[in-house]
Copies of this chain bind each other. A is one copy, B any other.
């Protein structure tokens, strides 16, 4: 009868715990493969992928940070690594000399294609292990909305 009150669980708490656990389990598995086979972290990969899809294969660092949800300093350090590896380069902006573009190199494009082959297959396999395609679409939708809610500043308390 001591800690019993702590056992009451709202669906939100259940969902939160499941989010933390599933993230840990999924990323642990996938990042092992990505780092062993390709020398990339998950965020490295996400960044390369977004650059590959961006017009002119370039993006402002700030925008990149917003997409992968890293802080500006996190992006700086992540890109340091990708620069050292030769996968991205720095590009200056004519109209605003504060901004530094991250530009995907040919080597970077080759890398993300190479990594995609095994990585995407592994994601498919892992997610399909217990979820059918309808459930997959549903969970993707719900998690996107959850992420948007949490990333929005407007759900912050007023003060």
Measured between C-beta atoms, what is the minimum distance from A134 to chain B in Å? 9
Contact A11 B57 (CB under 8 A): no
Measured between C-beta atoms, what is the minimum distance from A64 to chain B in Å? 13
Name the B residues within 8 Å of A150 (CB-CB).
22, 25-26, 28-29, 126, 129
Asked whether any CB of chain B lies closer than 8 Å to the CB of A13, the reply is yes
Name the B residues within 8 Å of A93 (CB-CB).
none
Residue tally, chain A, CB below 8 Å to B: 68
Contact B23 A136 (CB under 8 A): no
Contact B11 A136 (CB under 8 A): yes
> Of the candidates B7, B15, B140, which one forms a contact with A14 in the assembled complex, judged by CB atoms under 8 Å apart?
B140
Given A26-B19, A142-B131, decide whether A120 and B52 contact each other with a Cβ distance below 8 A. Answer: no
Residue numbers of A with Cβ under 8 A of B are: 2-3, 5-7, 10-30, 42, 46, 49, 52-53, 57, 68-70, 109, 112-113, 116, 120, 123-131, 133, 135-140, 142-152, 155
The 6 closest A-B pairs by CB, nearest first: A22-B147, A25-B150, A18-B143, A12-B127, A24-B69, A11-B136
